[in-house]
Amino acid sequence: MGQMIAIVGRPNVGKSTLFNRLTQSRTAIVDETAGTTRDRQYGKVDWNGKEFSIIDTGGWVVNSEDMFEGEINKQVHLAIEQADEILFVVDAMNGVTDLDDHVAEILRKSKKPVILVANKVDSSDWLYNVPEFYSLGLGDPMPVSAISGFGTGDLLDDVVKKLPEVDSNIADKLEDIPKFAIVGRPNAGKSSIINAFIGEERHIVTDVAGTTRDSIYTRYNKFGFDFYLVDTAGIRKKAKVNEDIEYYSVIRSIRAIEASDVCILMIDATRGIETQDVNIFSLIQRNKKGLVVCVNKWDLVTDKSETARKHFENAIRDRFAPFVDFPIIFGSALTKQRIFKVLETAVEVYGNRKRTVPTSQLNTVMLEAIAAYPPPANKGKYVKIKYVTMLKGSPIPTFIFFCNLPQWVKEPYRRYLENKIRENWDFSGTPVNVYMREK
């Protein structure tokens, strides 16, 4: 279960610049897939072998232009409730403001680990302003320049040091069975589908709870199924802050997605596909999780013809391209229509994530496909792919193609190889990795 760091602070102190610096200039960072601006507010960092996610709270709250105390309060409370550690960013050029004092007061009471980041130390002259932030009562201010990168390595060392220990036993207590997360926009029908699965007979359900904020795994076994439903704390009680439901739901989704193997993404048939559906999809993609799309409330749609369904299905695949090889199920949590089909499909996708293809079979098929359409020559150099194998023990199917000039094999050709793999073996619903290595 990855840990989560939240960045808070008043407007224009450089939260987004710091976020970009911490997430992009580091190793193993999410690739910049075409996404939405919202996506830029969530990134994963691997620093010295510790992996965690970073969230820039300012990026989600509306009215960021006329940010007043109320908006900042929401950000800070959200961070306190959901994050494992908080980076409080202040501006070394401006010194302490009333709003900084106000935020510091809330953070001091919260008992959460906080790191005070004095940003905009873009030249050594600004270092002299840093000590005044001791007045906030949050320990040593760390001088950084998000623009130049000064101090950010020390900052990340500090972040890793202060991260609360994860209860590693939780993972051990869970048996090796699939973990499914149900995600989607607010009101897409997440709780109704959970109720449809679990029904009123709650006794077949055992909860393995982590700490309050962590995921709750509900063991589900009946009708021949055995898996964990990942729920995040707080989904069952209505969020107190109505207007921030969307913001809350994004952070909750992140936690649930990170803790699962396969995500069931609920889409509301009566609303069509919306930006937030695409946001959640890209979170699933970034975390390389399996995917089943469930178009819910199909009972409420007037035109249920095959053509209408095909049309809806194509619209979804268009918006989620280039990843299009995933199952889509039309159903209704309310009438329970095709609800078990959703579970069966999620189990299949879980199986596809674990599928291995024998090396001999892989080479026979793939080398033929490569001979039929070799990689394009680059500046008179020809790429020769000699051999392909599957990586053992990888969380998702990973194929390694050995060749003489791996750097010349570009994205379109890798996509061709991936499509060939998918044509020949069933990897529906799961992302696959295709790597080129020098022989």
Amino acid 366: pLDDT: 95
Give CA angle at 329 (325, 334), nearest 5°.
155
Of the pLDDT bands very low, low, confident and very high (cuts 50, 70, 90), residue 171 is low
How much is the pLDDT for 173?
A: 66
Average pLDDT score, the chain: 82
- Give residue 268's pLDDT band: very low, low, confident or very high (50, 70, 90): very high
In sequence order, the β-bridge partners of residue 368 are: none
pLDDT, residue 51, reads: 82
Statement: residue 125 has pLDDT above 90: no
State the pLDDT at residue 427.
96
Q: Is the pLDDT of residue 247 over 70?
A: no
Overall average pLDDT of the 204-212 stretch: 42
Top-confidence residue, 307 or 378:
307
Q: Is the pLDDT of residue 400 over 70?
A: yes
Residue 232 has a pLDDT of: 60
For the residues 250-268, what does the mean pLDDT come to?
Answer: 87
Q: Which whole number is the average pLDDT over 200-206?
A: 43
What phi and psi, each to the nearest 5 degrees, are found at residue 288? 55, 45
What value does the mean pLDDT take over residues 238-244?
46
Specify the pTM.
0.76
Least confident among 188-202, 329-343, 414-428 = 188-202
Contact 96, 136 (CB under 8 A): yes
- Would you state the structure tokens that stand for residue 332, as one six-digit string? 């209704």
- Residue 170: what pLDDT? 57
Mean pLDDT, range 420-430, rounded to an integer: 96
Give the pLDDT of residue 235.
42
Q: What is the pLDDT, as a whole number, of residue 384?
A: 92
- Whole-number pLDDT of residue 29: 32
pLDDT at 402 exceeding the cut of 80: yes
Residue 27's pLDDT is 32
Please check the confidence at residue 132 and state whether its pLDDT lies above 70: yes
Strands 290-296 and 262-268: parallel
Q: Please indicate whether residue 81 or residue 119 has the higher confidence score (pLDDT).
A: 119
Say whether pLDDT at 23 is over 50.
Answer: yes
220: pLDDT strictly greater than 80? yes
Q: Report pLDDT for 396.
A: 92
